[in-house]
């Protein structure tokens, strides 16, 4: 299971766990198709458990043991359509600093002004996927945690009480900074636009309504550059 590191608050690092194919019951499934089957069963209020038989992952229901293909073929016609909403408000922006030691141009400390567009896909509940104001508030709260922070990979950070020491080798030599922990936001991988957008998508997915099944975040880094991350 992959682990994302959430922001440093004082000397704390908060760990969050995510996995690619986990159903609402916490079962780890071998493929997205299995996850689709589990979503169908959940949506139709069909009780199930996951069992292994002869190297195959099966779903045990009141109808007996059935495999993933049988579930999808039998129940897909009964499944309500998924809907998608887009949140592209101009206020969904943040400024941040970062560095990328492996990049000749970006291996010095520098900053960007970024904005995001968020898509939320899921089943309709009370005639909507999620209330726009609620979704916008969630996204803005997460972006505010990144705003005007140094976003940095965990490998470059050493916690020292209420401060952190950030050290890396970049263009021209070694860079070392002693910073208040409140000015640093730590993620697992390098602070590329690809990884930051994925981190934001996972943060949203962890807190948004349960009927939302996919979160897509498009993050713009300056002009003409962007990355798209999709989390199921």
Instruction: Assess contact for 100 and 106: CB atoms under 8 A.
Output: yes
Interatomic CA distance for residues 188 and 1, integer angstroms: 13
Instruction: Record the tokens describing residue 169, joined without a space.
Output: 């080798």
Over residues 101-116, the mean pLDDT reads: 94
In this predicted model, which residue has the larger pLDDT, 139 or 82? 139
At residue 118, does pLDDT exceed 50? Answer: yes
Give residue 79's pLDDT. Answer: 55
**H/E segment holding residue 145:** helix 132-146
d(CA 40, CA 80): 9
DSSP designation for 67:
-
Spell out the domains of the chain, with CATH numbers in brackets.
Answer: 1-79 (no CATH), 83-231 (3.30.479.10)
C-alpha–C-alpha distance, residues 121 and 129, integer Å: 7
Reduced to 3 states (helix: H, G, I; strand: E, B; else coil), residue 70 is helix
Range 184-191 average pLDDT: 96
163-174 pLDDT, tens digit per residue, is 999 999 998 899
Confidence of residue 201 (pLDDT cuts 50, 70, 90): very high
Whether the predicted pLDDT of 12 surpasses 50: no
Note the pLDDT of residue 228.
95
- At residue 36, the pLDDT reads 80
Active site residues: 106, 148, 221
pLDDT at 63 over 80: no
Q: Give the mean pLDDT of 20-42.
A: 81
């Amino acid at each position: 299971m992959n682990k994302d590191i959430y922001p440093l608050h004082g000397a704390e690092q908060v760990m969050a766990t995510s996995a690619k194919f986990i159903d609402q019951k916490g079962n780890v499934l071998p493929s997205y198709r299995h996850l689709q089957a589990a979503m169908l069963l959940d949506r139709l209020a069909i009780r199930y458990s996951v069992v292994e038989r002869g190297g195959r992952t099966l779903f045990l229901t009141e109808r007996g043991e059935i495999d993933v293909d049988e579930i999808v073929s039998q129940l897909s016609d009964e499944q309500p359509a998924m809907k998608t909403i887009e949140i592209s408000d101009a206020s969904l922006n943040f400024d941040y600093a970062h560095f990328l030691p492996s990049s000749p141009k970006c291996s010095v400390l520098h900053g960007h002004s970024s904005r995001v567009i968020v898509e939320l896909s899921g089943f309709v509940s009370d005639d909507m996927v999620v209330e726009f104001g609620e979704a916008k508030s969630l996204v803005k709260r997460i972006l505010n945690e990144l705003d005007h922070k140094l976003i940095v990979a965990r490998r470059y950070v050493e916690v020292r009480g209420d401060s952190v020491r950030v050290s890396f080798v970049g263009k021209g030599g070694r860079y070392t900074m002693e910073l208040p922990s409140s000015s640093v936001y730590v993620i697992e991988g390098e602070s590329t636009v690809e990884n930051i957008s994925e981190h934001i998508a996972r943060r949203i997915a962890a807190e948004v309504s349960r009927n939302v099944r996919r979160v897509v975040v498009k993050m713009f880094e300056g002009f003409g550059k962007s990355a798209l991350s999709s989390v199921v």
